[in-house]
Homo-oligomer: A and B are copies of this chain.
Amino acid sequence: MNKNSSNIMALAPNSPNKRETVCIFGTGDFGRALGHKIIQAGYPVVFGSRSTQTSSLIPKDAEVLSHAEAAQKAAIIIIAIQRQHYNFLTPLAEILHGKVLVDVSNNLKINQYPESNAEYLAQLVPGAKVVKAFNTVSAWALQSGTLDASRQVFVCGDDMGAKQMVMDIVRALDLTPLDQGSLLAAQEIENYPLQLFPMWKFPILLSLGLTTFFFFYCLTRDVIYPYVYENKDFSFFIVISIPNRICPISALTLLALVYFPGVLAAIIQLYRGTKYLRFPDWLDKWMLCRKQLGLVALAFASLHVLYTLVIPIRSFVRWRISSQIISQALNNETEPLNTTNAWLSDSYLALGILGFFLFVLLGITSLPSVSNNVNWREFRFVQSKLGYLTLILCTAHTLVYGGKWFLSPLSYRWYLPNAYMLSLIVPCIVLVVKFVLIFPCLDKPLTRIRQGWERNPQYSE
């Protein structure tokens, strides 16, 4: 529906008498931008302002009156004024009685005031029907018409009729109203536009930490060590070779960390014998950001795939392969096919491909529009069954990759094991514990606990 907003403008001339006048208090940036848009949508607009001087900034088709005069002309009044100036409305209480007041204000930080601006407005003008709306849309977006981001306008209010009137205006502006219920939702609606990916902070910080640690780890082993002992300059490893070690390590560790809290929760529940005690706070928070952890892991896995696939195009790799071939040719050697090698190489590639494939599937099902179309049972099936399968495949991919070097002393430089060995720690712990938890002697009581059974039910009183 959002494709030709021009039609709405075309509609206006045909039905000038249908759209009711909208009053806007405040001639600031947002008020004017909203006014422009509402006029374009075919509504007559009156501005209420302290100074009734018309500025060139105010849309030409709009009248500018005093607050009281303007309010009398319309059933809907949009309060495009900052919260700290709301008290000027108190003297107007009588005129505003029964009117729909639309609170469009935002705060500067989350939970700035004890109550939301809309509830504060409702307290100030008790006779009016307060509706919260439009605060999620920016003046710039309204002005430039480039509403590329969300077209959703959250609307809440206690009066259904008032809410309907506001939602009609929202729709006329080519936006999508979303009824969020009563005015109690206003605080959350006001906090919404202030957030900047709140759930992503921990996963991103964690992955930054992981990548930094493994960068210096690999730098030491793969660049500094050969430089010190063999005087070889492999500094260009920083560009692709080392990132292609960091990415799979971070991906595997983060993926394991997605399933770790579930395993921990099961142990805690088994130990306590009940599911009705709250988990420690850190575990709760960890569980809530599992989706984000998984998506960051998927990002690392995708980078790993890309870094791996360009290997044969790398000038260093081409040089290494051709020098090997040339030296073999010059020495008149012909190596027979090593079937074990072929098996190992193909296996770890195939495990990686399948693991990545399932990982991408998991990522797709976590898209909001896809997860909204699956029910709880299907979602659990995908995220739990397919998720563990992904973890198993990716762990196996790493195990097979490094299989033969595990015990070789050559892979320890300055007593540092190969980086991929470290990446195996967390996934192996998770998989072993999960495997233990599948045994009936543990699985049965756990299932019963999760269905509400308690080992030591304590009746109070």
Q: Is A308 an interface residue (CB 8 A)?
A: yes
Looking at A97-105, A211-219, A379-387, A409-417, the stretch in contact with chain B turns out to be: A379-387
Contact with B along A152-178 (1 / 0, CB 8 A): 101000001000100110011000001
Copies of this protein in the complex: 3
Q: Is A337 an interface residue (CB 8 A)?
A: yes
A15's nearest neighbour on chain B, judged by CB, is B184
List, in ascending order, chain B residues with CB within 8 A of A57's CB.
274, 276, 452, 454, 457
Contact with B along A218-247 (1 / 0, CB 8 A): 000000000000000101100111010000
Looking at A5-13, A85-93, A419-427, the stretch in contact with chain B turns out to be: A5-13
In the complex the two chains form, is A314's CB within 8 Å of B460's CB?
no
Q: Is A441 an interface residue (CB 8 A)?
A: no
A307's nearest neighbour on chain B, judged by CB, is B353
In the complex the two chains form, is A196's CB within 8 Å of B325's CB?
no
Interface residue ranges of A97-132 to B (CB < 8 Å):
110-111, 114-115, 119
In the complex the two chains form, is B236's CB within 8 Å of A342's CB?
yes
A174's nearest neighbour on chain B, judged by CB, is B188
List, in ascending order, chain B residues with CB within 8 A of A195's CB.
3-4, 375, 377-378
In the complex the two chains form, is B452's CB within 8 Å of A191's CB?
no
Query: Known: A195-B377, A454-B57. Contact between A309 and B311, CB under 8 A?
Result: no
A453's nearest neighbour on chain B, judged by CB, is B29
Q: Is A198 an interface residue (CB 8 A)?
A: yes
In the complex the two chains form, is A337's CB within 8 Å of B322's CB?
no
Query: Known: A29-B452, A184-B172, A373-B368. Contact between A310 and B349, CB under 8 A?
Result: yes
A351's nearest neighbour on chain B, judged by CB, is B239
In the complex the two chains form, is A182's CB within 8 Å of B168's CB?
yes
Query: Known: A322-B325, A353-B306. Contact between A172 and B167, CB under 8 A?
Result: no
A146's nearest neighbour on chain B, judged by CB, is B287
Question: How far is A311 from B315 in the complex, measured between Cα atoms in Å?
Answer: 13
For the complex formed, measure the closest distance between the CB of A230 and the CB atoms of chain B, giving whole angstroms. 13
Q: Is A367 an interface residue (CB 8 A)?
A: yes
List, in ascending order, chain B residues with CB within 8 A of A312's CB.
311-313
List, in ascending order, chain B residues with CB within 8 A of A324's CB.
322
Interface residue ranges of A43-83 to B (CB < 8 Å):
53-57
In the complex the two chains form, is B193's CB within 8 Å of A376's CB?
yes
Neighbour of A7 across the interface among B111, B160, B290, B338, CB < 8 A: B111
List, in ascending order, chain B residues with CB within 8 A of A333's CB.
326
Q: Is A334 an interface residue (CB 8 A)?
A: yes
Q: Is A433 an interface residue (CB 8 A)?
A: no
Sample of 8 more A-B contacts, CB < 8 Å, known A4-B195, A57-B454, A314-B349: A14-B114, A32-B276, A139-B452, A239-B346, A315-B344, A316-B345, A322-B328, A325-B326
Question: How far is A197 from B382 in the complex, measured between Cα atoms in Å?
Answer: 10
In the complex the two chains form, is B326's CB within 8 Å of A376's CB?
no
List, in ascending order, chain B residues with CB within 8 A of A7's CB.
111, 187-188, 191
Question: How far is A287 from B145 in the complex, measured between Cα atoms in Å?
Answer: 9
Q: Is A141 an interface residue (CB 8 A)?
A: yes
In the complex the two chains form, is A284's CB within 8 Å of B145's CB?
yes
In the complex the two chains form, is B290's CB within 8 Å of A146's CB?
yes
Interface residue ranges of A1-51 to B (CB < 8 Å):
1, 3-4, 7-8, 10-11, 14-15, 18-19, 28-29, 32, 42
List, in ascending order, chain B residues with CB within 8 A of A193's CB.
375-377
Q: Is A302 an interface residue (CB 8 A)?
A: yes
List, in ascending order, chain B residues with CB within 8 A of A357's CB.
299, 302-303, 306
Interface residue ranges of A320-335 to B (CB < 8 Å):
320-330, 332-335
Q: Is A418 an interface residue (CB 8 A)?
A: no
Question: How far is A246 from B242 in the complex, measured between Cα atoms in Å?
Answer: 31
Question: How far is A314 from B312 in the complex, measured between Cα atoms in Å?
Answer: 10
Question: How far is A187 from B8 in the complex, measured between Cα atoms in Å?
Answer: 8
For the complex formed, measure the closest distance between the CB of A329 and the CB atoms of chain B, giving whole angstroms. 4
For the complex formed, measure the closest distance between the CB of A150 and the CB atoms of chain B, giving whole angstroms. 5
Question: How far is A286 from B69 in the complex, measured between Cα atoms in Å?
Answer: 41
Q: Is A208 an interface residue (CB 8 A)?
A: no
Q: Is A350 an interface residue (CB 8 A)?
A: yes
In the complex the two chains form, is A181's CB within 8 Å of B185's CB?
no
Question: How far is A347 from B235 in the complex, measured between Cα atoms in Å?
Answer: 12
For the complex formed, measure the closest distance between the CB of A378 and the CB atoms of chain B, giving whole angstroms. 6
A-B contact pairs, 21 of them (CB 8 A): A1-B188, A3-B195, A53-B459, A55-B458, A56-B459, A57-B454, A57-B457, A137-B376, A146-B288, A148-B383, A171-B185, A195-B375, A196-B378, A236-B346, A309-B309, A310-B353, A312-B312, A314-B342, A315-B341, A316-B346, A319-B335
